[in-house]
Every structure is written in C-alpha cells, then in structure tokens.
Amino acid sequence: MSLAEVCAALIVAGLTAYAVLAGADFGAGFWDLVAGGPERGARVRGLVQRSMAPVWEANHVWLIFVLVVFWTAFPRAFGSVMSALYVPLFLAGVGIILRGSAYALRGHAVTLGEARVLGATFGLSSVLTPFFLGTTIGAVASGRVSVGGGSGAPLAAWMHPMPLIAGVLAVVLAAHLCAPPSPSPRSRSGGASRSARSTRWS
C-alpha cells in the first residue's frame, strides 16, 4: 500500500468517525428544534443536554484531522475543493460556530426570550451545517469538482440535484443517529396513574 493510499484511508476513517459522532450531535439539535414548546419538549431537550454535554466540543476534532491530512497529502485536490466549494464550506463553518455558541450560552439565558432565540439558533444551525457538509461531499462524489480546474461560479459545483440530495440525506442520517427513545406504554400509563393520584390527593 502506497503512502497516498494510507492517507486516503485515514481521510475515509476520519470522515466516518465525524459522520457518526458529530452526526449524532447534529441530530440532537434537529430533535431539539422539533421537540415542541417548553412543556412538550422538556424531556427531549433534557436528553439532548445530558447526551451532548461531555462530548460536543471534541467531535469536531475529527473534521480538523480530515482537513489537515487532506491538505498535507493532497494539496492540489484540497485547493480545488476549497476553491470550488467555498460557499457551502463557509456556511458550514458559520453554522458550527453559531451552534456551539448557542449551545454554550443557552444554559445561561436570563429570560425566556433569550432561551428561545438561542435554542432556535442551536436547532437551525444543527440542520444547516450537516446539509452544507453533505452538499460538499455530494459535489465531490458526483465529479463536479475538477482538480486544478479553478473556482468557477460560486454555485456551479453544488447547486445541482446530486449535491442537494446528499445534503438532505446528511440531515436525515444525523436525525436517525440521535433519534430519542419514545416512552414505553408502561411508563406512559405509570405517568398517567401518578398524575391521577396527585390530582385525587390535591
């Protein structure tokens, strides 16, 4: 196995780890976004907070690892990808920053309005970031980025069906990886009986 093949295998391994680990984090943001109001979504948001707190900062290390290996081992291809897909990559980077900032600050919100704005920012950026990363992968996989071909139009390489479908599939994959467990019928009936008992004794 040549050195180039080793580097390519490392990139694939890093992308797989990032897709699974960071993808689950993005999926948590998706379920946080669609969880509903404060009362209805409290359970899901509690699960999101507890599951993400230990690892959310570390998962993007895999993305940095992939970019460093890609840049070092295949500089010409790296330059072509960055030149042709700088728009979705820039938007994904902005999404990562907004998502991390909103997640870190949401617990310190003073008012309900601040918490809602931060929660919406966290949820929307958790959807848009994997979408734009998926369009990038889709553009490269469909051969829309030519090595040494220059940047071209800002939207030419990724505003096509294949990259856009790949972006949607990335969001669906992230949501599937972190789908919250539904309460069992027994726990629901137990909660209903406890509610009835508390109403009867109040």
pTM summary value: 0.79
pLDDT tens-digit readout, 32-52: 777 777 666 666 777 776 666
Which secondary-structure segment (H or E) carries 148?
Answer: none
Among residues of the chain, what percentage have pLDDT more than 90? 38
- Residue range 64-93: mean pLDDT, rounded: 93
The helix/strand/coil state of 73 is: helix
pLDDT tens-digit readout, 81-105: 999 999 999 999 999 999 888 888 8
Residue boundaries of the structural domains of the chain: 3-201
- Mean of pLDDT over the chain: 81
Predicted local distance difference test score (pLDDT) of residue 64: 92
Q: Measure the CA angle with vertex 51, ends 47 and 54; round to 5°.
A: 145
CA distance 134 to 117: 26
Give CA torsion, residues 186, 191, 192, 198, to 10 deg. 150
pLDDT tens-digit readout, 112-153: 788 888 888 988 999 999 999 999 999 999 988 888 766 667
- Residue range 145-173: mean pLDDT, rounded: 85
**DSSP assignment of 21-63:** HHHHHHHHHHHHHTS-STTTTHHHHHHHHHHHTTTTTTTTHHH
Least confident stretch, 73-82, 171-180, 181-190: 181-190
Predicted local distance difference test score (pLDDT) of residue 193: 41
> Quick check: 3 pLDDT over 80?
yes
Predicted local distance difference test score (pLDDT) of residue 94: 95
